[in-house]
Amino acid sequence: MKKYYILLLLIYSGIASSQNDCFFENDQPSLFFHKTETVAINIAKYICQNNIETRGQNSQLNTNLIDYLNLLKITANVETQELKNTGIDVSSLLDSFINNFNSSNRTKWPSFSINNFLGKYILSIDYNTEESVSFIESDDDKCLTTDAYGVSCSDVLEDFVYAFNLYKTLILKKEASKAVENSKFNTEQWREYFTSTRSQTPFELTINSKLYRDTITSKHFVPPPPLQVIFLHPNLMMEYVNKADDGNQFKQSLAIEWVGVNMWNSKIPFGASIMTSYSDRSGVRDVGHGLLFHFNNKYSIGVTDHDGETGFSISVDILKIFQSAQSKKSWFEKFNKENQND
Amino acid sequence: MARKILIIIHGMGNHTEESFLNEFLTASNKALNRYRKYENTKFEDKVKVIPIAYDFIFEKIREEFRESAEPINKFLEIHPQIFASDSLIKKSINLQNYFGKNNFINTHVLDVLLYLTNVGEWVRSEVANKIAKAIEDNHKNSSINILCHSLGSAVLHDTLSKLMVNDAPDDVASLDPNVIKFNSIWTFSNVSKLMSSYSNQPHPYMSIVKPGDYGCTRFFFNIRHELDPFTRPKMFDPMISDNWVVPYVFNNRFISLITSKISQKNTHSLGGYIEDPEVSIPFFQFMFNFKETKKNIKSGNDKFKTYDDEYLKIQEKYKQIDEFSDLKDFLKLIKEFGETLFESEKEES
């Protein structure tokens, strides 16, 4: 016991100096369990400041930490003595808590919880569900009449749960922050895949999903596929055919990409597909077959054969390089008008 | 005392965080204010509610469909001779154009279809990010609860199945289930079992999304209405014999609530579920220690208006739904359900 008093002294005096990542502001101090709260907060800081690995085997935890956790149990036991007078005994739950750290299994960091489950209060500790303590609603008022509390037992226990669980609050923060960071990166990749790369038609979305099905059913989150399969994809292009009649050489055309791929996420995004171009012009055949190349997920350049006459296509997006939005709009309107007049 | 945290996740249809929060709080407060002691109490003062929305992803995809189809359509209007109307390309363009339109099928049926594609992983990743953010922002609070509705139950299940692991590579999002345990999960109109049969995501009886020592939550509440058609095919209804959880947990940490009262024609509506006293009372008890006298509970419950004559009509309509042979039947059901609701609204107006 003497050992624990020394530890208590150490822990009260603050185990280590403050570190920004391990800063803890207790903006909601416990009403009834000050000592439990203080020990819990200092354990939280100790784990954080010593960078103790929380994913692993219990055997990897250092003896100081085990001692501090024991101290938390003892302090909580002392501070909950008064509750015993109302018939609520948490000592077996505290035993379960510390026994959890004395095994060599994977480290579990249990929290206490108090809930009103269909009119029955259940105080329990994680990973030892069957050890829970329960009491009926009418017993909740027993703490109201005691000098120590003066509020309902469920309120007292909520306060206890809050104070005790603070021991792992910085572990929770660390776990969650890392998950936020990793999921943010993955989410941004998916967002980019669907919104900043070449658009996918419903057909393409179905095909790309089928091809990625095995990967996506992985038990972990996965990034988007590195390749976009192109299939039956319509594109509006501007196509130049030199041998077409005057005034019909540079015209809007519809390119259908039959099949192709786009490496959307490579250092220099690049793709290619087999395409057929359709336009309405005199002097050459309306239909031309050829290849379409994609760059940077935005720009496309194609070459087609119209019965021996070569056509060159550029995607409308390329115009963005040369034209302002307004001039592009008027340019489009002009072309649409011309096409309607044809 | 610390307020419990409640993360809420919507189902099919048009939702934003704000609209879903409003829908949820309107129903919760309507139910809560029926009881004398809570006449002037707001649910949000008792519980911190954090809405999570993912519908913007489906909307973004539909917008992409629409925006890329629009100029093509214009071109084809000017040059109709290019493709025959029954050609595969024309059909593909028409489909893309149709999906871009704002109607019930697209805002509901298409959500389900899109979730089954690669878009689903974007949704899961987004929801995982928001759940992790909610924990990070509330790391001093160990009572984090999640409520989900309809498609949201599949989204939540699949997200937690991937998130609550301790063997993920270092750069992949994960939360160690030995560190983090949710306090409770409330699923309304749970379609996770149905969706998992098409999405190849883990079967909900085999995943970590369950109560108890081997699950990621302490308590699990599954709520369905007898006449909610969406819960009937491949119903999420674990039995003790399914070995989903150990018998102690099944009996003490899991509740399956089946409601039957009809307060609105849309038996799938989250509001209708929450307003039912059979749901609202255990929900309030659990979330903020709701206490009221028996007399006041009775008079509060009496304020819950039901339309019993509607029961037989709806029962007749949906009694034939038991098991679907394929996804097409399920999507047809969503469409028919939507049409029925629109017809009812028209009749009423």
Mean pLDDT of B207-217: 96
* Chain A environment of B71 (Cβ under 8 Å): 236, 316
Q: Residue A315: its pLDDT value, please?
A: 85
Rounded Cα distance, B320 and A133, in Å: 46
Mean pLDDT of chain B: 89
Q: Residue B238: its pLDDT value, please?
A: 95
Specify which residues A236 forms β-bridges with: A254
* Chain A environment of B173 (Cβ under 8 Å): 179-180, 182-183, 186, 221
Q: Residue B145: its pLDDT value, please?
A: 98
The pLDDT profile of chain A, 342 residues, written as one tens digit per residue, is: 555 555 555 555 445 444 567 888 888 899 999 999 999 999 999 999 999 999 888 888 889 999 999 999 999 999 999 999 899 999 999 999 999 998 888 889 999 999 999 999 999 999 998 989 999 988 899 998 888 889 999 999 999 999 999 999 999 999 999 999 999 999 999 999 998 888 899 999 999 999 999 999 999 999 999 999 999 999 899 999 888 777 778 888 999 999 999 999 999 999 999 999 998 887 788 889 999 999 999 899 999 998 888 999 998 766 555 554 454 455 455 555 554 544
Q: Which of A16-20, B286-290, B319-323 has the highest mean pLDDT?
A: B286-290
Q: Would you call B136 and A180 a contact, using CB atoms and an 8 Å cutoff?
A: yes
Residue A139's φ and ψ, nearest 5 degrees, are -80, -10
Give the one of A158, A220, A221 whose C-beta lies nearest to B2's C-beta.
A158
Q: Which of A295-304, B47-56, B254-263 has the highest mean pLDDT?
A: B47-56
Run of H or E including A68: helix A63-79
Sign of the alpha-carbon torsion through B103, B109, B112, B115: negative
Rounded Cα distance, B262 and A132, in Å: 37
Give the one of B1, B64, B136 whose C-beta lies nearest to A173's C-beta.
B136
Q: Residue A342: its pLDDT value, please?
A: 44
Closest CA to A79 of A145, A2, A8, A131: A8
B340-B342-B193 Cα angle (round to 5) = 55
Q: Would you call A236 and B255 a contact, using CB atoms and an 8 Å cutoff?
A: no
Which residue in A115, A133, A218, A229 has the most chain B C-beta atoms within 10 A of its own C-beta, making it the best mutation to test that interface? Answer: A115
Mean pLDDT of B198-210: 93
* Chain B environment of A220 (Cβ under 8 Å): 162, 165, 168-169, 172, 174
Rounded Cα distance, A182 and B21, in Å: 27
Judged against a pLDDT cut of 70, whether residue B321 lies above it is answered with no
Q: Which residues numbered 139-178 in B keep a CB inside 8 Å of some CB on A?
A: 139-143, 161-163, 165-166, 168-169, 171-176, 178
Q: Which residues numbered 314-343 in B keep a CB inside 8 Å of some CB on A?
A: none
* Chain A environment of B94 (Cβ under 8 Å): none
Q: Residue B258: its pLDDT value, please?
A: 94
User: Under the phi-then-psi rule, with left for phi > 0, alpha for psi from -120 to 50, and beta for the rest, what region is A241?
Assistant: beta
Question: What is the complex's ipTM, to 2 decimals?
Answer: 0.91
Distance from CA of A114 to the nearest CA of B (A): 9
B289 interface with A at CB cutoff 8 Å: yes
Contact in structure between B224 and B233 (CB atoms under 8 Å): no
DSSP string, B325-341: SSHHHHHHHHHHHHHHH
Contact in structure between B185 and B145 (CB atoms under 8 Å): yes
Rounded Cα distance, A260 and A275, in Å: 9
| Cα end-to-end span (Å), chain A | 99
Q: Residue B82: its pLDDT value, please?
A: 79
Give the one of B82, B161, B213 whose C-beta lies nearest to A278's C-beta.
B82
Sequence-distant (6+) residues with CB within 8 A of A213 are B200
Distance from CA of B61 to the nearest CA of A (A): 7
Rounded Cα distance, B182 and B148, in Å: 14
Q: Report the SS3 class of residue A108.
A: coil
Q: Which of A57-71, B43-57, B258-272, B332-346 has the highest mean pLDDT?
A: B43-57
Give the one of A127, A190, A209 whose C-beta lies nearest to B213's C-beta.
A127
Give the one of B78, B81, B116 whose C-beta lies nearest to A340's C-beta.
B78
Structure tokens at B220: 């699990």
Rounded Cα distance, A167 and A37, in Å: 8
Q: Report the SS3 class of residue A63.
A: helix
B290-294 long-range Cβ contacts below 8 angstroms, 24+ apart: B290/A116, B290/B32, B290/B35, B290/B38, B291/A137, B291/B37, B292/B35, B292/B36, B292/B37, B292/B38
> What are the E-state strand segments in B182-302?
182-188, 217-225, 254-259
Q: Report the SS3 class of residue A270.
A: strand
Judged against a pLDDT cut of 90, whether residue B328 lies above it is answered with no
Judged against a pLDDT cut of 60, whether residue B279 lies above it is answered with yes
How many residues in total does chain A contain?
342
> What are the E-state strand segments in chain A?
112-117, 120-125, 133-136, 228-241, 250-263, 270-278, 287-295, 299-306, 309-315
Q: Would you call A119 and B285 a contact, using CB atoms and an 8 Å cutoff?
A: yes
B64 interface with A at CB cutoff 8 Å: yes
B105 interface with A at CB cutoff 8 Å: no
Rounded Cα distance, A200 and A210, in Å: 14
Closest CA to A68 of A5, A7, A1, A6: A7
Q: Report the SS3 class of residue A247.
A: coil
Q: Which residues numbered 206-225 in B keep a CB inside 8 Å of some CB on A?
A: 212-213, 218-219
* Chain B environment of A219 (Cβ under 8 Å): 161-162, 165, 202
Distance from CA of B34 to the nearest CA of A (A): 19
Structure tokens at B324: 């679907």
Give the one of A221, A225, A316 whose C-beta lies nearest to B128's C-beta.
A221
Give the one of B92, B118, B286 whose C-beta lies nearest to A208's C-beta.
B118
User: Helices H, strands E: what count in chain A?
Assistant: 11, 9
Rounded Cα distance, A310 and A303, in Å: 7
Give the one of A55, A172, A256 whose C-beta lies nearest to B139's C-beta.
A172
* pTM of the model as a whole: 0.91
Q: Residue B263: its pLDDT value, please?
A: 85
Judged against a pLDDT cut of 90, whether residue B60 lies above it is answered with yes
Distance from CA of A7 to the nearest CA of B (A): 24
Nearest CA in chain B to A194: B61
Q: Would you call A213 and B179 a contact, using CB atoms and an 8 Å cutoff?
A: no
Contact in structure between B124 and B162 (CB atoms under 8 Å): yes
B72-B73-B79 Cα angle (round to 5) = 90
Rounded Cα distance, B127 and B121, in Å: 10
Run of H or E including B48: strand B47-52
Question: What pLDDT, in 10s, does the model give residues B96-151?
Answer: 878 877 777 777 888 999 999 999 999 999 999 999 999 999 998 889 999 999 99
Run of H or E including B145: strand B144-149
Banded model confidence at residue B320, pLDDT cuts 50, 70, 90: low
How many Cβ pairs within 8 Å bridge chains A and B? 237
Q: Residue A18: its pLDDT value, please?
A: 46
Mean pLDDT of B263-270: 86
How many residues in total does chain B contain?
349
Q: Report the SS3 class of residue B316.
A: helix
Rounded Cα distance, B329 and A102, in Å: 54
Distance from CA of B318 to the nearest CA of A (A): 31
Rounded Cα distance, B345 and B335, in Å: 15
Distance from CA of A4 to the nearest CA of B (A): 26
Give the one of A117, A165, A177 whose C-beta lies nearest to B136's C-beta.
A177
